[in-house]
């Protein structure tokens, strides 16, 4: 069964084509800088004859529709031999960022589901609209395919009420659904499952801390296989220092910005979501650039990295306390998988908790799951590559199989 996974972000589209149940990746790529004057597309594919092809091009993509039609053009390119017509795609799996309290499992998309996703736009105004656009255009391009939605918030629906409620008047939750939802759930769940398989232990027997570090960053405490607490909250703005997002901040700062500095709500929103985090601290959200600048002696870069890794360390300690015991800490996503320096500094000083990184293992580079702790570390420290698109494809495939057996 051929399953296309579409992951529409705030200005990009990630896409992968899989053959399931073999879990063979036939095509993977990204359309970036949608809506800007100069965009780009890159992809890698494996032809039916086994030939590997990698392409990269610059092209302006005015909207998600133009990006998705370009993806379809690649899929149906005759010389690649991937697909002959749209009917070859049996399932399209969509990442939807916010499912609110309505969705704790993947669902087959129908008109009612679309309306419910649209109703959740106020909870994720930057993410759910592009997710919806991706679904609607997919219906046009692949009319015969089953369209499935996998929600980023679903994994966190197991949070206990004392972890997801805010200490504000009840009606904000009861009437307006103001609570912790968490994000990156697909990634946190995927790497937790991978860890259980690697450790040869049932997931329900494990206590884990998963650390997803990319341009967006979040951490999750996983108790007996279920999300117990998570760093992102009502929105993706809370928690860790991120590429352009502030992470945790005293709410009174927002009042000060509005009353004293006469900033509008839109200006405050833009500042905290797009101009803060590493970009606000060091004028760049490229961690590689900041690490290089610190190595050259720049104090601004040094302070940004100190703040970034200190916040991760604080959450490691907090989640260790919340769980009572920890079997493994898992680093994942672009930064978590590829930056030995960030991993080392985030765990430094936690030796009394039994968290001891081995410098040589940490510095080694591989694309597979690996352990980077010292032999006498009480807690395993794992680096596990995430694959949200494969996780979505698996969920969609299982949902199709369940529907067929009903």
Annotated catalytic residues are 152
Question: Which CA distances in Å does 97 have to 104, 303, 321?
Answer: 12, 32, 29
Radius of gyration of the chain (CA): 21
- Between CA 141 and CA 253 the distance in angstroms is 46
Per the listing, tokens 């039609």 go with: 69
Long-range contacts of 116-119 (CB under 8 A, 24+ apart): 117/149
- Beta bridge partner(s), residue 331: 211, 383
Q: Is the dihedral of CA 197, 198, 202, 207 positive or negative?
A: negative
Using DSSP bridges, classify how beta strands 146-151 and 91-96 pair: parallel, antiparallel or unpaired. Answer: parallel
Question: Which CA distances in Å does 21 have to 26, 199, 231?
Answer: 13, 23, 33
CB 340 within 8 A of CB 381: no
- Between CA 22 and CA 402 the distance in angstroms is 18
């Amino acid at each position: 069964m051929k399953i296309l996974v579409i992951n529409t972000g705030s200005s990009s589209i990630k896409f992968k084509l899989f053959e399931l149940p073999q879990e063979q990746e036939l095509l993977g790529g990204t359309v970036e800088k949608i809506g800007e004057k100069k965009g780009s597309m890159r992809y890698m594919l494996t032809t039916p004859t086994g030939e590997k092809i990698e392409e990269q091009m610059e092209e302006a993509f005015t909207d998600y529709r133009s990006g998705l039609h370009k993806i379809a053009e690649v899929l149906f390119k005759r010389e690649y031999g991937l697909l002959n017509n749209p009917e070859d795609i049996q399932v399209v799996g969509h990442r939807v960022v916010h499912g609110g309290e309505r969705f704790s499992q993947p669902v087959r998309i129908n008109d009612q589901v679309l309306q419910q996703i649209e109703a959740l736009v106020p909870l994720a105004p930057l993410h759910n609209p592009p997710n919806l656009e991706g679904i609607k255009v997919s219906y046009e391009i692949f009319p015969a395919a089953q369209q499935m939605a996998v929600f980023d918030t679903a994994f966190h629906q197991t949070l206990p009420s004392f972890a997801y409620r805010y200490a504000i008047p009840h009606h904000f939750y009861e009437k307006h659904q103001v609570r912790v939802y968490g994000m990156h759930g697909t990634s946190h769940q995927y790497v937790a499952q991978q860890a259980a398989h690697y450790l040869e232990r049932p997931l329900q027997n494990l206590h884990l801390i998963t650390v997803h570090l990319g341009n967006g960053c979040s951490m999750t405490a996983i108790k007996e296989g279920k999300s117990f607490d998570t760093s992102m909250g009502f929105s993706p703005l809370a928690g860790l220092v991120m590429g352009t997002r502030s992470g945790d901040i005293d709410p009174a700062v927002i009042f000060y910005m509005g009353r004293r500095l006469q900033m509008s709500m839109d200006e405050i929103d833009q500042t905290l979501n797009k101009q803060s985090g590493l970009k606000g601290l060091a004028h760049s959200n490229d961690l590689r650039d900041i690490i290089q600048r610190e190595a050259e002696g720049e104090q601004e870069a040094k302070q940004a990295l100190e703040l970034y890794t200190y916040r991760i360390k604080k959450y490691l300690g907090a989640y260790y306390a919340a769980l009572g015991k920890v079997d493994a800490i898992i680093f994942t996503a672009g930064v978590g998988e590829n930056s030995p320096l960030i991993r080392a500094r985030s765990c430094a000083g936690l030796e009394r908790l039994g968290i001891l990184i081995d410098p040589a293992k940490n510095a080694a580079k591989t694309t597979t799951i690996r352990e980077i702790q010292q032999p006498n570390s009480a807690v395993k420290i794992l680096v596990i590559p995430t694959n949200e698109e494969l996780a979505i494809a698996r969920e969609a495939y299982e949902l199709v199989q369940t529907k067929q057996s009903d």
